[in-house]
Amino acid sequence: MSNFTSLIKESWVEVTEHVTWPKFSELQSSSILVLVASLIFAILVGLVDLAFKSGLDLFYSSF
């Protein structure tokens, strides 16, 4: 149990004293970048899915 307590104390010291946290404006710009990239990726995956669905529907309707 003392090892666990020591781990928690050392982790807290590491997080509060040794970690460099980004500024709020940096977090906002990074979040916006991730949101835009995710939306673009989702649109591209949706378009590929639509193309495959249309292609397969056309292929199966020919039989």
What is the amino acid identity at position 11?
S
pLDDT per residue over 8-40, tens digit each? 999 999 999 999 989 999 999 999 999 999 999
CA dihedral of residues 52, 54, 57, 63 (deg, nearest 10): -100
Report the pLDDT value the prediction gives residue 2, as an integer from 0 to 100: 84
pLDDT per residue over 37-63, tens digit each? 999 999 999 999 999 999 999 999 988
Residue 15 is classified by DSSP as: I
Report the pLDDT value the prediction gives residue 63, as an integer from 0 to 100: 83
Whole-number Å distance between alpha carbons of 10 and 7? 5
Tell me the three state secondary structure of residue 50. Answer: helix
Domain residue ranges of the chain, discontinuous segments joined by +? 21-63
